[in-house]
């Protein structure tokens, strides 16, 4: 019995001695380590990376098309040459894919102004240009909107008054910035009609306050990244030109 008590006391002492120590932070110190030419490179690492760097550089610099004039998203008030080009590109490249999968025609394209991250300079358009325009991994999604859902989109555009890339639709605002005329494919909005609106997955989920897409009855995912779509579009065209037009304007 005494041996048992002794073992219990010994075991308890060992447990207590293994308890973590209590430490208190007294200070945080740091210093900046300059990374410059004085630091010797790692030759073996550089040799390993070099062929990958060269291959990526060749691909990014591959010429796809030519821009006779620069395109910018800030040219124009409610629509811009660059935004119009991007929306038209989605309509032209994604439309046949959607038609093949669903048997339906794409009606409208809506992207977002802030999603355009660069302009197109005059001269050669390369793969790198597409990455600069669209550095994100967003892909094309087609929302199935009824007339009510489409009116929500129109109200959003009228209230925002931003040159969001738009195709397939014409909106004319009156002096009070209210839609005085709305046409889809040259026709007024019809009750009972389903409209197929191509956008990207970020906007479909409510990005940029585009919450009207929540009214979509369903969606069709095309598994087609916007950036890849632009690369295919540029390769298809010998030259890339665009301008402002009357797709979204304010009545004077």
Contacts of 61 (CB under 8 A, 6+ apart): 126, 127, 128
| C-alpha to C-alpha distance for 207 and 211, rounded to whole angstroms | 7
Region for 185 from its dihedrals, namely left if φ exceeds 0, alpha if ψ lies in -120 to 50, beta otherwise: left
User: Cα separation of 51 and 57, whole Å?
Assistant: 10
Predicted local distance difference test score (pLDDT) of residue 40 = 79
pLDDT of residue 41: 77
pLDDT for position 2: 46
- Domains delineated in the chain: 59-250 (3.90.780.10)
Burial category of 220 from C-beta neighbours within 10 Å (exposed 0-12, middle 13-18, buried 19 and up): middle
Name the pairing type of β-strands 169-173 and 248-250.
Answer: parallel
- Please, which contacts does 32-38 make with residues 24 or more away whose CB atoms are closer than 8 Å? none
Residues of the chain with pLDDT under 50: 1-11, 14-16
Rounded distance between C-alpha atoms, residue 86 and residue 60, angstroms: 20
User: Is the separation of the CB atoms in 88 and 108 below 8 Å?
Assistant: no
Instruction: Determine the pLDDT at residue 6.
Output: 45
d(CA 217, CA 106): 16
Query: Do residues 110 and 160 make contact, with C-beta atoms less than 8 angstroms apart?
Result: no
pLDDT, one tens digit per residue, over 167-197 is 999 999 999 999 999 999 999 999 999 999 9
Pairing of β 108-110 and β 195-200: parallel
Per the rule left: phi > 0, alpha: psi between -120 and 50, beta: everything else, 215 is alpha
- How does the average pLDDT of the chain come out, rounded? 91
- Counting beta carbons within 10 angstroms of the beta carbon of residue 208, is it exposed (0 to 12), middle (13 to 18) or buried (19 or more)? middle
The 10s digit of each residue's pLDDT in 220-235 is: 999 999 999 999 999 9
User: What does the chain come to in residues?
Assistant: 252
């Amino acid at each position: 019995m005494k041996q048992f008590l002794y073992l219990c006391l010994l075991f308890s002492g060992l447990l207590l001695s293994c308890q973590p120590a209590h430490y208190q932070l007294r200070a945080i110190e740091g210093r900046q380590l300059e990374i410059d030419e004085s630091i010797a490179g790692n030759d073996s690492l550089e040799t390993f990376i070099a062929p990958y760097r060269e291959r990526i550089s060749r691909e990014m610099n591959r010429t796809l098309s030519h821009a006779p004039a620069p395109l910018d998203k800030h040219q124009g008030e409610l629509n811009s040459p660059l935004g119009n080009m991007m929306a038209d590109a989605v309509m032209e490249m994604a439309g046949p894919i959607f038609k093949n999968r669903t048997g339906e025609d794409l009606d409208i394209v809506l992207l977002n102004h802030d999603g355009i991250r660069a302009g197109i300079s005059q001269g050669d358009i390369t793969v790198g240009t597409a990455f600069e325009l669209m550095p994100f991994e967003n892909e094309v999604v087609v929302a199935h909107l009824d007339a009510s859902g489409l009116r929500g989109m129109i109200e959003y555009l009228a209230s925002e008054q931003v040159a969001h890339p738009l195709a397939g639709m014409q909106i004319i605002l009156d002096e009070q910035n209210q839609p005085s005329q709305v046409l889809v494919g040259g026709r007024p909005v019809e009750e009972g009609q389903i409209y197929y609106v191509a956008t990207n997955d970020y906007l479909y989920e409510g990005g940029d306050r585009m919450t009207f897409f929540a009214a979509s009855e369903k969606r069709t995912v095309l598994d087609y990244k916007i950036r890849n779509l632009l690369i295919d579009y540029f390769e298809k065209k010998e030259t890339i030109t665009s301008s402002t037009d009357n797709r979204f304007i304010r009545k004077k």
